Amino acid sequence: MSSSDVLLLNNHSSIHQNLGGGLLADVILWRHKNVTTSLLVITCASWLMFERSDYTLLSYISNVLLLLLIILFLWAKSAQILNRPTPPIPDLQISEETINEAAALIRDQINTVLSISHDVALAKDPKMFAKVAAYLVLISVIGSLTDFRTLCYTSTFVILTVPVAYERYEKHVNSSLTKVIMKLRQLYINFDEECIKKVRKWILVKKNKLS
């Protein structure tokens, strides 16, 4: 087992730190149980609703907004007639600073993606090319097995369950991963000795005969 594998499995940083250590990490690791439970329930309920009904996401959002608009309109009209308080709707405005920060963040992310794409397209980074190709193949395989909506629900469910399970059983998982990596490495060594080296010898013999 290589030193890189040992460092990977014996990383002293917690999974909370690896997830960023902020509010998102707290939600994923169930530090705010009410928020995480609500997200999980909403995800499961929306998946069941969309799967069992003829609604699409766009039609559902449109109907909800239409219902909300009608309620607020009738509330405001009745408040005027009955001399009652109008709906407590704040005057929401997005500041220019917030827009600039969001635009700068999006610009940095897009520039990073474009820079990586440029290097990959011009064969400047073979390792990155292999990673991008592997991710695209994986996405293609997953896309052929399920639709985008189900993939989003499944990803949300996995994000809210797998990290907290790993945090709870980290020692057992790392021990199992260590055994799996050692077995895979031994299989590769055996394959290299039995197949790859024989092929190399055969190629060298053929090359010597031709020369």
Q: What is the DSSP string of 181-194?
A: HHHHHHHHHHHIII
- The whole-number mean pLDDT for each consecutive block of 10 residues of the chain, a chain of 211 residues, reads 47 71 83 89 84 76 90 91 84 83 90 86 82 87 81 87 88 87 85 73 72 63
If DSSP codes are grouped into helix, strand and coil, which group holds residue 9?
helix
Q: What is the DSSP string of 95-154?
A: -HHHHHHHHHHHHHHHHHHHHHHHHHHTTS-HHHHHHHHHHHHHHHHHHHHS-HHHHHHH
What CA–CA distance (Å, rounded) separates 107 from 100? 10
Q: pTM, whole model, 2 decimals?
A: 0.55
Of all helices (H) and strands (E), which one includes residue 85?
none
**Could you give the angle at which helices 126-145 and 96-121 cross, rounded to 10 degrees?**
110
pLDDT for 106 equals 92
pLDDT for 171 equals 85
If DSSP codes are grouped into helix, strand and coil, which group holds residue 12?
coil
